[in-house]
Structure 1
Amino acid sequence: MRISLLLVLVIFISSCKEERPNMERQYLESNWSLLKEADYSLISDSVQIPSTVHKELLPFIKHPFQGNNEDSLQWITEEDWIYETVFALDKEKLTKEHITLNFEGIDTYASIELNGHEILETDNAFLNWQVDVKAFLEEENELYVTIKSPLEIEAQKATLNPYTLPEGNRIYTRKAQYQYGWDWGGPELNTMGIWKPVYLEAYDDFKMEDVYIKQNFVKDSTANLTAQIKLSDKSTELLNYKIKVNDSLYWEQDYQPKAQEDEFEIHFEIPQVQLWWPHNIGEPYLYDIEILVFREEELIDSQKLKTGIRTIELVNEPDEHGTSFFFKVNDMPVYMKGANYIPQNSMQDLVTDDHYEKLLSDVKEANMNMLRVWGGGGIYENDIFYEKCDEKGILVWQDFMFACAMYPGDSRFRESVTNEITQQITRLRNHSSIALWCGNNETSEAWHNWAGKKEDLKPNAIVYGKIIEPYFKLQCLNM
């Protein structure tokens, strides 16, 4: 049985990054406790989310960055851990038609229980997990997140493969691979936790799930754009849609989606367009775009975003040296100057907004105009990283998270990676700074040169061609 903890029940104030009518977002960020599952011993009753187990243990352990202390801390990864909290919901929120519980990131294998009901199992740290919990919610609620050690689960997955793949069992877990130790000095701190925000989202009968502003072309200083709108359900209701650019109305039309249609497009133009440029070439100009939806005269939903108008082309053509490899921005060749970017800390919850601002300001001050988000072993960065790159005119070479290894190609792994790639591209594709998506770090090299072309490995090798390439074409047509 669980220990009974004295916790103060708090009615959290709803907060969100943007105000949206008909939708309330309530973050569950404070008043969490962390316990060691084996004996239910309390580690902390003042945990703030985001959180990693190693960070919460810092007051009680030798600092993992000093000397060889990491060697004596491997027991942490061998244990299971429990995060628990209590929270309240007001009666008005409980009357909403839809209430979802959202985990933007759990590292990695977790079982989630709400008011005694098992509601979710997670197995990918790069996924945003969402579950409808309206049926389980009350005015006062208890939430338990049990995070399991990845080591035993990885070992079990390895036994299902008829052959041993290189680089150890890390390949079976979709989490930051640098946590297993890396050659650039990354310590072996295979941490766990609720490493991204947790929140409830309550709304009634309508919600725009996603808005993507796709650039078609620029001609005679006019940008031709398409707003691709994804709805939360297949509504066929006739509604009025408006598009504002920099607070001015640019488009308005009544629209009724067809039956079984949850996505549709709106075409609009921006005359006398100001282009987005890398900071050392010109101004990284960003437009404020807002999509508003009205039912008769009532505003029922809206979404705001910032985006820049630009074209980016990777030029691979025969030249006197072999094949060219350079970028054009707005049809102008641009010499790229930059660096590899790796995660700023082994405990990502210690990285603050100020850290991002300082690092990216230093990048700009050093006259770099591109960063490669090193992949494979790292993470898909937080939104603020890409927002700052947009604002500061820093291009991003974005890797997918496969590094220096041969990854499994079974159907369950492919399904998880498909969801991961779909979510990450959808999340990041409005950012003007994204210049290129790269499938892996040295993994293609591994398949071609480390193991030759053995037929029995072919099912695993095709995972990249079957998953990454189709989703790149589908989601990034304007790159």
Structure 2
Amino acid sequence: MKTFYIVFTSIVLNFNNVFTSVLDLTNAEWTVSNKNESIKISGSVPGGVYTDLHKASVIGDILSGFNDVLTRWVAHDTWTYTGKFNVNESQLNSLVAHMVFEGLDTVAYIELNDHPIGTTNNMFVRYVFDVKQQLKLGENQLTVVFESPIKVANSRSEKYFTAPACVPDQYNGECHANQLRKMQASFAWDWGPAFPSVGFWKPVTIEFYNNIIMRSVTTHIEKDDAFWYIKITAHIESSRNKKDIKSYMSASLKLEGNQKYIIGKDLDINTNDDGTSKADLSMTISQNIVKLWWPNGYGDQALYDLDVYLSTINDGEISHKHLQIGFRTIELVEEDATKYLGNTTAGQGLTFYFKVNGYPLFMKGSNWIPAHILPELGSDRKRIDDLLTAAKDVHTSMIRVWGGGVYESDYFYRRCDQLGILVWQDFQFACAMYPIDTEFLNSVKTEVEQTVVRLQHHPSIALWAGNNENEAALRGNWYTRPQEFQRYKEEYIKLYVETIQPIVKSLDPGRRYLVSSPSNGLESEREGYIANNPYDAHYGDTHYYNYMADNWNLNIYPLTRFASEYGVQSLPSISTLKTATQDPKDLSFDSVFIRHRQHLPNGFTYMKQQIGKRLKLDENDTKYFEKFVFYSQISQAMSVKAETEFYRQNQATWHTMGVMYWQLNDVWQAPSWSSIEYGGKWKMLHYYAKSFLAPVLVSPRLLLSGDVDVYLLNDRFVPIVNGEITVDIFNFSSLIPIRSQTYVVQAEPLRSTKQNISINLWNEPNKEEIFVKFSLKADGITSSPFNFVFPKSLKDAVGLKEPRIQISVSKRTEGRPDNGLQYNVDIRVDTIVLFLWLETNTNDGHFENNGFIVTQPHIRVKYTSKTNLTPTELEKLITYQYYIN
């Protein structure tokens, strides 16, 4: 076998042969009909039955009113998609014809020209069927019959019952989602409705070729001294009849300075019984000709084009894959904590932090749920761009793709690569025990293998986690009885340890596989994979929710090495709620509509209690509901701010090294934990995340003693030397501080540093009349957010006055239309204003910051608009709210 390679040249590969042919069935003539054919409409691929029924005006907007329940009949029926398409003589003469279903949701029976070709039972699996014998010249007919997922789940549960039986009644959902390899949240969740859709949620194609096709490419990249070593693996498919194929594999990697590394070799491919095979190439790259890929906030995201070709010797048929790779190292470090914290209580146990390119980085971000409750709409590129860009804008360096949704589109992960957002990727198992019958496990094996192979090359993938909360659920008997523990433990190990783990480790040995999240990591493994206390603060990651405590108080939160889930609810804005109802009477706590949208048991009670701990709201106020919405967003923003800063401060004392609040996005207009409303509007929480996740932040903690500890958080690679923190004490009634003091401060790089600053508010007279403002100036830091301490609850604040607020707008710059137009919004006030909230009631623009604690007579904020407005027009659109008791 001969091999050649050419290093660092500008040679371009020239192929004069024919690439494999693909027939995309997106534009086939599709129809959809139900079981008794009382409904027959046009269909779409990719698409789904709810989408198609809405387009045909059979059903209304699924997210309006009570349509999540009123349209549930759809999921109880059987739906048949029929597509007609043409095949030409050249295609028919190909030796291989494979029909590829990238994603069918979920249980389906497939016929081609009245001949059975296969069945499916997993929406996360790509199915490939040999249709060479069933195709004919001219018109062909593909028929896919989708069974009701609700009925299939119930039927399977009768054979393989696995806890829990159903979701809580408040979810208005369906039972036994854990029986299907389907988006778990499609049967309802505490933040979303049930829409158990069926359909082609991804494309379907027919591949015509004569020999082999390259299905996927994986890259294993390792660093050793001054070189990067790359192993490129082509995952190859052919027909079952092909056994010995002579071919040529080559790869071209574009490097810095317009250089290329080209390598290739002859192959003698022997396919397996199922027609699959693998082939490898290796490259060695000097570190001097590539740049490192860094997470957002820590450096640039250098990506390099890799093209891999596979051509057959006899006829020169070519298969090609293009991907972008990044050069970075990542390691989840779980080692003796005494190394960092000494022989203290904090030093017991293990660390849990990510080291990227040799540096221990504090990870900051949130949790991602599906971008839409209908999976075929979740891959919309604009929706993905808007959400991921919004995450990047608030300093997100890591996002967790939660285990009750879907494995996201290729575009999603490419954008994470480009934006520098690391992905904590859960496998799609959440909040349930799962069956382990042979059919289920075999389907899971294929799902995991395909998922890892598809996503492995992305530099943004940080780790794999087997499930969401199932270790904690099993240990805590969330869904089971104590006497069933041993059964479910054995099944848990069978699924996540014996089935999934070996596949991940074999296909992606360079990344950590966590069996569960939350988990004690290595310690859970040592304890037989189900730790006695999966929430042990000395190990791993934790999830924490407490709706009874005062969540503005930093002292109530538990210690952790890594906070991978936490949060509180709020309502979406009135303008967003109005997109779900046309009836003004629905915008009231007395309405059935609002209660229907709240899926968290006792959710409004918790929300009301949280607001009442810090803010004053009169139930007899004529604008009570509008203010409740606004105050719920204040409460949510301040609560998540407090908890996040607690964890960031504890980098110094407990080696806490990550925060990902729950949750980034929404799937409908309802109460939830999100920081971005359905439709894209930022809640106050998302604006506040821009501050509490900032790279440099003064972060105070008011202790029960009345002392204020002050931390300087520095997520940069350089120290802060001789910076100045100014502490201003204000009366609520005046824009002039009653006293100020400045302290010289230092901070090490990539550290949280407690400062030698003495502030005590215990003996401060009239604490209900004052608050404290913190600001920072330091060389090399262009901006650092202000921070505040309120010694008493704001419901007890004395001295707040009704402000006079003047707002004027001037256009600042005109960028490219896709970037939007920028305006200067000038705000003038005559007194302290708390939580000044600006709105335009449009999703065509956003403010740079919002929810201001105004302590100056004039502030300026930028507004970016996708619509070309005059300053006067924008000025008229702006409304505002603020807190006053």
Q: Same fold (TM over 0.5)?
A: yes
Which residue of structure 2 aligns with residue 461 of structure 1?
Answer: 492
Structure 1: distance between partners of 2:423 and 2:163: 35
Contact 2:98 2:208 in 1 (8 A): yes
Which residue of structure 2 aligns with residue 69 of structure 1?
Answer: 67
Which residue of structure 2 aligns with residue 291 of structure 1?
Answer: 308
1:83 to 2:81 alignment: yes
Shift of residue 424, structure 1, vs aligned partner: 0.7
Shift of residue 163, structure 1, vs aligned partner: 6.9
Aligned Cα RMSD in Å? 2.3
Deviation per CA, 1:371-409: give whole Å up to 9, x if none: 10011x100011110011111111101001111111111
- Specify whether residues 296 and 316 from structure 1 end up closer, same or farther in structure 2 by C-alpha distance, changes over 3 A only: same
Shift of residue 236, structure 1, vs aligned partner: 4.5
Structure 1: distance between partners of 2:465 and 2:322: 28
Instruction: Kindly provide the amino acid, as one letter, of the partner of residue 56 in structure 1.
Output: D
Structure 2: distance between partners of 1:394 and 1:274: 17
SS at match of 2:26: coil
Of 229, 234, 241, which aligns to 1:224? 229
Shift of residue 239, structure 1, vs aligned partner: 3.7
Structure 2: distance between partners of 1:237 and 1:120: 27
- Specify whether residues 476 and 41 from structure 1 end up closer, same or farther in structure 2 by C-alpha distance, changes over 3 A only: same
Of 91, 94, 97, which aligns to 1:93? 91
Structure 2: distance between partners of 1:191 and 1:426: 27
Shift of residue 252, structure 1, vs aligned partner: 3.1
Residues matched between the structures, number: 457
Structure 2: distance between partners of 1:141 and 1:296: 31
SS at match of 2:384: helix
Of 163, 175, 181, which aligns to 2:182? 175
Query: Comparing 316-325 with 460-469, which one deviates more in the overlay?
Result: 316-325
Shift of residue 431, structure 1, vs aligned partner: 0.8
Which residue of structure 1 aligns with residue 392 of structure 2?
Answer: 364
Shift of residue 28, structure 1, vs aligned partner: 0.7
- Specify whether residues 442 and 349 from structure 1 end up closer, same or farther in structure 2 by C-alpha distance, changes over 3 A only: same
SS at match of 1:136: coil
SS at match of 1:217: strand
Which residue of structure 1 aligns with residue 687 of structure 2?
Answer: none
Shift of residue 42, structure 1, vs aligned partner: 4.0
Identity percentage of aligned residues: 32
Structure 2: distance between partners of 1:293 and 1:194: 30
Q: TM-score, normalised by structure 1?
A: 0.89
- Specify whether residues 240 and 75 from structure 1 end up closer, same or farther in structure 2 by C-alpha distance, changes over 3 A only: closer
Structure 1: distance between partners of 2:119 and 2:285: 45
Shift of residue 183, structure 1, vs aligned partner: 0.8
1:444 to 2:466 alignment: no
Shift of residue 41, structure 1, vs aligned partner: 3.1
Which residue of structure 1 aligns with residue 321 of structure 2?
Answer: 303
Of structures 1 and 2, the larger Rg is shown by: 2
Contact 1:20 1:303 in 2 (8 A): no
What is the 5 A alignment of 1:158-169?
A: 158-161=157-160, 165-167=164-166, 168-169=175-176
Deviation per CA, 1:177-224: give whole Å up to 9, x if none: 11111112x01111111111111111111322332111132421x211
Contact 1:228 1:265 in 2 (8 A): yes
SS at match of 1:303: strand
1:374 to 2:371 alignment: no
Instruction: Kindly provide the amino acid, as one letter, of the partner of residue 87 in structure 1.
Output: F
What is the 5 A alignment of 1:120-199?
A: 120-139=118-137, 140-161=139-160, 165-167=164-166, 168-184=175-191, 186-199=192-205
Structure 2: distance between partners of 1:31 and 1:107: 19
SS at match of 1:454: helix
Of 267, 278, 282, which aligns to 1:267? 282
Structure 2: distance between partners of 1:156 and 1:298: 50
Query: Comparing 52-61 with 158-167, which one deviates more in the overlay?
Result: 158-167
- Specify whether residues 314 and 200 from structure 1 end up closer, same or farther in structure 2 by C-alpha distance, changes over 3 A only: same
Structure 1: distance between partners of 2:419 and 2:140: 43
1:41 to 2:41 alignment: no
Structure 2: distance between partners of 1:115 and 1:241: 37
Of 453, 472, 478, which aligns to 2:504? 472
1:434 to 2:461 alignment: yes
Instruction: Kindly provide the amino acid, as one letter, of the partner of residue 57 in structure 1.
Output: L
Shift of residue 245, structure 1, vs aligned partner: 0.8
Contact 1:245 1:289 in 2 (8 A): yes
SS at match of 1:41: coil
- Specify whether residues 287 and 136 from structure 1 end up closer, same or farther in structure 2 by C-alpha distance, changes over 3 A only: same
SS at match of 2:415: helix
Which residue of structure 2 aligns with residue 57 of structure 1?
Answer: 53
Of 186, 203, 216, which aligns to 2:209? 203
1:403 to 2:411 alignment: no
Structure 2: distance between partners of 1:148 and 1:188: 17
SS at match of 1:138: coil
Contact 1:379 1:401 in 2 (8 A): yes
SS at match of 1:251: strand
Shift of residue 347, structure 1, vs aligned partner: 1.7
Higher relative contact order (CA 8 A, sep 6+): 1
Instruction: Kindly provide the amino acid, as one letter, of the partner of residue 91 in structure 1.
Output: E
Shift of residue 264, structure 1, vs aligned partner: 3.2
Structure 2: distance between partners of 1:402 and 1:415: 15
Deviation per CA, 1:15-72: give whole Å up to 9, x if none: xxxx994311111113443433332134422x32111111112222243322322222
Contact 1:34 1:42 in 2 (8 A): no
Contact 1:235 1:262 in 2 (8 A): no
Structure 2: distance between partners of 1:297 and 1:283: 43
Structure 1: distance between partners of 2:49 and 2:82: 13
Contact 2:75 2:196 in 1 (8 A): yes
Structure 2: distance between partners of 1:98 and 1:477: 34
Contact 1:21 1:302 in 2 (8 A): no
Structure 1: distance between partners of 2:49 and 2:103: 14
Contact 2:420 2:460 in 1 (8 A): yes
Contact 1:43 1:57 in 2 (8 A): no
SS at match of 2:250: strand
- Specify whether residues 369 and 117 from structure 1 end up closer, same or farther in structure 2 by C-alpha distance, changes over 3 A only: same
- Specify whether residues 69 and 433 from structure 1 end up closer, same or farther in structure 2 by C-alpha distance, changes over 3 A only: same
Structure 1: distance between partners of 2:36 and 2:416: 45
Give structure 1 stretches of 5+ with no counterpart: 1-18
Shift of residue 257, structure 1, vs aligned partner: 4.6
SS at match of 2:322: strand
Which residue of structure 2 aligns with residue 9 of structure 1?
Answer: none
Contact 1:399 1:437 in 2 (8 A): yes
Query: Comparing 244-253 with 132-141, which one deviates more in the overlay?
Result: 244-253
Which residue of structure 1 aligns with residue 381 of structure 2?
Answer: 353
Give structure 2 stretches of 5+ with no counterpart: 1-15, 167-174, 512-885
Query: Comparing 339-348 with 56-65, which one deviates more in the overlay?
Result: 56-65
Contact 2:98 2:206 in 1 (8 A): yes
Structure 1: distance between partners of 2:233 and 2:316: 22
- Specify whether residues 224 and 201 from structure 1 end up closer, same or farther in structure 2 by C-alpha distance, changes over 3 A only: same
Shift of residue 111, structure 1, vs aligned partner: 0.9
Instruction: Kindly provide the amino acid, as one letter, of the partner of residue 264 in structure 1.
Output: A
Instruction: Kindly provide the amino acid, as one letter, of the partner of residue 364 in structure 1.
Output: K
Structure 2: distance between partners of 1:143 and 1:229: 30
Contact 2:123 2:182 in 1 (8 A): yes
Instruction: Kindly provide the amino acid, as one letter, of the partner of residue 149 in structure 2.
Output: P
Which residue of structure 2 aligns with residue 23 of structure 1?
Answer: 20
- Specify whether residues 130 and 298 from structure 1 end up closer, same or farther in structure 2 by C-alpha distance, changes over 3 A only: closer
